[in-house]
Structure 1
Amino acid sequence: MEYEEPKFFQVMKYGADADRDVIDMVSGNPDWEPPAALREAVAAYAELPSAEFQYPPSEGIRELREAIAVRRGVDVDRIVLTNGTGEANYLGMARALERDAGDEALLMDPVYPYYPGKTELLGGDPTLVPTERDGGLDVEAVREAASTETALIVLNTPNNPTGAVYDIGKVREVVEIATEVDALVVVDEVYDRFDHTGSFESALAIDSDRVIVTSGFSKSMAITGFRVGYAILPDDHVGAAKTRHMLVNVAGSRPAQYAVSHALEATEEAYYAEARERLAGRIDAFTEALDAAG
């Protein structure tokens, strides 16, 4: 395929070359401290035996996978640790599009630009499906767009870029539509810690072998450089995802996974609440400035 540079890359270059201060509102780089336990774990890792500096299991270290399994209420063998949530999405999308079930991917619009890019990279055809005016999931629009050519539906909740939190009942309806047309649904939940409405419910609550849930720690722990994400796949699809992950990456970073595992166990809910409060203040300041500007 011919590579087309994403437009937001062009915007970032424009900002970098500007002759004045520019506020980057394109990339999601948290500017606050990671959990203290994570820093402590990174320091402690340097003192571990040399064997801990070698390849981890391809699907990720057991300790972190077990911690995720307990928190998400799933079997540990369904979890693959990935190079950030981005790779988790790639694995889920690839699994949907490689099944000879069609080439079409339904993506909610406004859309996170990596979704159409990954779709095309995998040989699929992205179709944008408009959301409701408030950013909510428009089930009837999804139903109208879905066909026997639809192999994949991608949802992102809480949503980037709108911030909308999708009603779990509507997500369940989309999964039912996917079942009718033999599609898989990849639900990216990386922003679950930034739900300002209190209404977020994971798609894991839906009992279906059509649902692949992805998430990670880049945003919630302010560690975008660590690249620790994960995919939770149905039993019938996890083996293929593990194989693709191994062939693409061999494995992830053992030190990063170790540090996240320790931070996940030791970090109190107050850390995440403080991050939400910080962002809520910024949202208020930004919207007030826009209102004042007319």
Structure 2
Amino acid sequence: MEYETPLFFHVMEYADRADRDVIDMVSGNPDWEPPEALRDGLREYADLEPDRFEYPPSDGLRELREEIAARRGVDAEQVIVTNGTGEANYLAMARALERGRGDEIILTDPVYPYYPGKTTMLGGTQRFVETDEDGQLDPAVVREAASEETGAIVVNTPNNPTGAVYPEETMEALVDVAEANDAILVSDEVYDHFDLSGTFSSALRYESDHCIVTNGFSKSMASTGLRVGYAVFPEHLIENARSRHMLVNVATTRPGQYAALRSLRETNPAYHEANRELLRDRIAAFTDALDAAGAEYTTPEGSFYVMARFEGFDGSLENVERLIDEAGVAGMPGEAFGDSRGDWFRFALVTPQVTEAASRLAAFFE
């Protein structure tokens, strides 16, 4: 079996080789400060006893699992601490497929490219349902696509790449679709702290045994290198997920878990609100310049991505490379996220040079 390498790596390498300065708007790596408590936790950990540098419990430090469980309203035994949200999604999708219910995974179009990649790796079959022009997902479309072959329905809210936030009625209906088809709804909620709309609704509120929720601290704590995520499983699905996690990763970083726990306990909500305000300012600056460039664009309700379309300039990899070479701005081609946004580009607003990037794009397209 051959796996397709996501285009992220190609674009980043191309930008690195460019003969000019390039503003990186490719990947969702927050450029702002992590919580001070996270730094304090890592410093403190360096001076702990030698036994703290041994393997942690495979499913995560007990104190961290209990803290997550208390915040999410679940039992700590339902929580597995993973090697980032990426592994959490892998475990969730694997657990959904290995039930033998069906090998089809319903994905949205546009889609975060790692979901279809994981589907292929796990031996599943991809089935795509399109979102509307704002990135919202119509549960009726999912209901029509679901069948006895459906093993899982994978959604991401707030969404990458569209910035859509699925409201309560959407999430409730998706839970109903999963239950009606004996499928598993996998809800990736890693951008939950970046809900700018006030309409975010976690799948956990429905207490369904057909839901797995994944999350992590890469985005909310501005620490993509920390590699601490988690998945919340229904009780009847947890055991095999623990075994797969142990066989694939043994455990995730003990110092990272320690620091994440301290940050959870000590970081004031004002930290997250300040980051949301920063994003609101960046969205306004970037979209104002896109207006000047005559572009069509999405205004994110959550996460930190803007998709843009420029007349007569499709969102191909070739044109991404042109923007790098001629405008000095690196984004992602829309074709990387599925068929429905092939003439769009996706830009991550995680650089202090957002205004400069927008000006460069406006100048390029004037």
> Once the 2 structures are TM-superposed, how far is the Cα of residue 179 of structure 1 from its aligned partner?
1.6
1:228, 1:34 → 2: CA distance? 14
The answer to whether the 8 A contact 1:137-1:167 is kept is no
What is the match of residue 135 of structure 2? 135
Q: Is the Cα contact below 8 Å between 2:119 and 2:125 reproduced in 1?
A: yes
Residue equivalent to 1:270: 270
Aligned-residue offset at 1:141? 1.2
Runs of at least 4 residues off by over 4 Å: none
The TM-score, its normalising length taken from structure 1, stands at: 0.98
1:86-97 to structure 2, matched below 5 A, reads 86-97=86-97
1:75 has 2:65 as partner: no
Give yes or no for contact 1:104–1:126 (8 Å, CA) kept in 2.
yes
What secondary structure is seen at the aligned counterpart in 2 of 1:153? strand
Could you tell me how far 1:120 is from its partner in structure 2?
0.4
Query: Which deviates further from its counterpart, 58-67 or 20-29?
Result: 20-29
1:176 aligns with 2:176: yes
Alpha-carbon separation, structure 2, partners of 1:24 and 1:275: 19
CA-CA distance at 1:214 after TM superposition: 0.5
Helix, strand or coil at the partner of 1:132 = coil
Residue 212 in structure 1 maps to residue 212 in structure 2? yes
- Corresponding residue SS for 1:127: strand
Partner Cα separation in structure 2 for residue 208 and residue 5 of structure 1: 34
- Specify the alignment match of 2:38 in structure 1: 38
Question: For the residues of structure 1 that align with 2:232 and 2:173, how far apart are their CA atoms?
Answer: 20
- Letter aligned with residue 243 of structure 1: S
Correspondence list, 1:136-155, <5 A: 136-155=136-155
Aligned to 1:101: 101
- The CA distance in 2 between the partners of 1:203 and 1:66, in whole Å, is 19
Aligned partners of 1:50 and 1:13: how far apart in 2? Answer: 39
Q: Which runs of 5+ in 2 are unaligned?
A: 295-366
Aligned to 2:228: 228
Alignment partner, residue 202 of structure 1: 202
The one-letter code matched in structure 2 to 1:20 is R
Paired residues in the alignment total 294
Q: State the secondary structure of the residue aligned to 2:24.
A: coil
CA contact (8 A) 2:3 2:120 kept: no
1:222-255 CA distance string (max 9 Å, x none): 1110100000000000111111000001111111
Shift of 1:4: 1.9
Q: 1:10, CA displacement in angstroms?
A: 2.4
User: Displacement of 1:7 after TM fit?
Assistant: 2.7
SS of 1:92 mapped into structure 2: helix
What amino acid does structure 2 have at the position aligned with 1:194? F
Alignment root-mean-square deviation, CA: 1.0
Distance 2:220 2:6 in 1: 25
Is 1:60 aligned to residue 65 of structure 2?
Answer: no
CA distance in 2, matches of 1:249, 1:91: 11
In structure 2, how many angstroms separate the alpha carbons of the residues matched to 1:236 and 1:245?
16
Once residues 16 and 266 of structure 1 are traced to their aligned partners in structure 2, the CA distance between those partners, rounded to angstroms, is: 37
- The alpha carbon displacement at 1:22 in A equals 2.2
Q: Percent identity?
A: 62
Secondary structure of the equivalent of 1:68? Answer: helix
TM-superposed deviation, 1:180: 1.9
The alpha carbon displacement at 1:187 in A equals 0.1
Amino acid at match of 2:281: G
8 Å contact from structure 1 (residues 153, 183) kept in 2:
yes
Describe the SS at the equivalent of 1:279. Answer: helix
